[in-house]
Chains A and B, each alone.
Chain A
């Protein structure tokens, strides 16, 4: 049986909490438990520490009263109702209208650009009108040239009455 010196006892008494929390090295913990078997003061301290831990760990609180859940739930419901009431009316942002208008314009332009030239009745009619115009313009040019030619001949014959050139 080993008798601890005062210094040794104090050293081990300081380590009761470490032993309680399992923070001593395995060798030290084993030595500590051995010493609690032979040193009454250390044994009392260790037993008291264990008793305190066991007693505190077995403390139980009563059940939370139902009024707590009800109170919290009522507050949450009231809060949500308040948030809905205070929320401003939903409005469409002005820029959304501009974007929509731009998109419509883009679709119209692309449709016109990419649409195939479809020969139809309207196109035939337009071509016919154009051809008639061109024909009339050509005739006008011919008449104009003939008139210029005729006038030119008259002028020449007036300058040379004998018919000489």
Chain B
């Protein structure tokens, strides 16, 4: 069960870029799972968990944005993560910058494109699994992902690909 906790926590963290908020979302999701344990189809519990976690994380993200009243770029979270790095080489610094810009670009995507990028590119879900989780047809998932990737490339085109 702790593997499931980690999997859902990772998804929430990638959406929120905040450890405490992701932890709250994970706890909420599994408490809801327990409370609805007699209503959920056990064969589809994984998809249920991911769907509920994604929705809860997006809700938390929107609440935070409303609180801050600014477009979140999650720079604090990125800085916390990058702060653990030792003195970087030039290539490492550029690579780190590329990674940060990419995170920021992903966070500027609208839903469901952002979730699809996270599920596909970070979490490694298949198209049909994403469609199942987000309740979208397979072709729609592909179209959204195609558009999202193009947007990301447009935002990151100024960076030389070799930096990554």
Residue of A nearest to B124 (CB): A57
Residue of A nearest to B106 (CB): A56
Residue in contact with A64 in the complex, picked from B5, B122, B145, B162, CB distance below 8 Å = B5
19 contacts between A and B (CB under 8 A): A17-B149, A51-B98, A51-B163, A52-B149, A52-B152, A52-B156, A56-B102, A56-B117, A57-B121, A61-B6, A63-B6, A67-B27, A68-B26, A68-B27, A68-B30, A69-B2, A72-B30, A75-B34, A79-B34
- Asked if A62 lies at the interface with its beta carbon under 8 angstroms from chain B, I say yes
- Asked if A30 lies at the interface with its beta carbon under 8 angstroms from chain B, I say no
Report the minimal beta-carbon distance from B120 to chain A, rounded to whole angstroms.
9
Residues of B within 8 A of A53 (CB): 121
Complex Cα distance, B152 from A51, in Å, reads 11
Given known contacts A63-B6, A72-B34, is B23 in contact with A51 (CB within 8 Å)? no
Contact B153 A48 (CB under 8 A): yes
Residues of B within 8 A of A55 (CB): 98-99, 102, 164
11 additional contacts (CB under 8 A) given A62-B13, A69-B2, A71-B31: A17-B145, A51-B161, A52-B152, A56-B106, A57-B124, A62-B19, A63-B6, A64-B2, A67-B23, A72-B30, A72-B31
Partner-B contacts on A (CB < 8 A): 16-17, 20, 44-45, 47-57, 59, 61-65, 67-69, 71-72, 75-76, 79
Report the minimal beta-carbon distance from A146 to chain B, rounded to whole angstroms.
95
Residue of A nearest to B118 (CB): A56
- Asked if B61 lies at the interface with its beta carbon under 8 angstroms from chain A, I say no
Residue in contact with B9 in the complex, picked from A50, A52, A64, A75, CB distance below 8 Å = A64
Partner-A contacts on B (CB < 8 A): 2, 5-6, 9-10, 13-14, 19-20, 22-23, 26-27, 30-31, 34-35, 98-99, 102, 106, 117, 121-122, 124, 145-146, 149, 152-153, 156-157, 159, 161-164
Q: Which 10 A-B pairs have the closest CB atoms?
A: A51-B164, A47-B161, A61-B10, A64-B9, A56-B121, A61-B13, A72-B30, A71-B27, A48-B161, A64-B6
Report the minimal beta-carbon distance from B10 to chain A, rounded to whole angstroms.
4
Residue of A nearest to B156 (CB): A48
Contact A17 B9 (CB under 8 A): no
Residue of A nearest to B101 (CB): A55
Complex Cα distance, B13 from A79, in Å, reads 28
Among B20, B122, B157, the most chain A Cβ lie within 10 Å of the Cβ of B122
Report the minimal beta-carbon distance from A14 to chain B, rounded to whole angstroms.
9
Complex Cα distance, B40 from A91, in Å, reads 31
Contact B153 A45 (CB under 8 A): yes
Contact A47 B122 (CB under 8 A): no
Residue of B nearest to A70 (CB): B27
Residue of A nearest to B5 (CB): A64
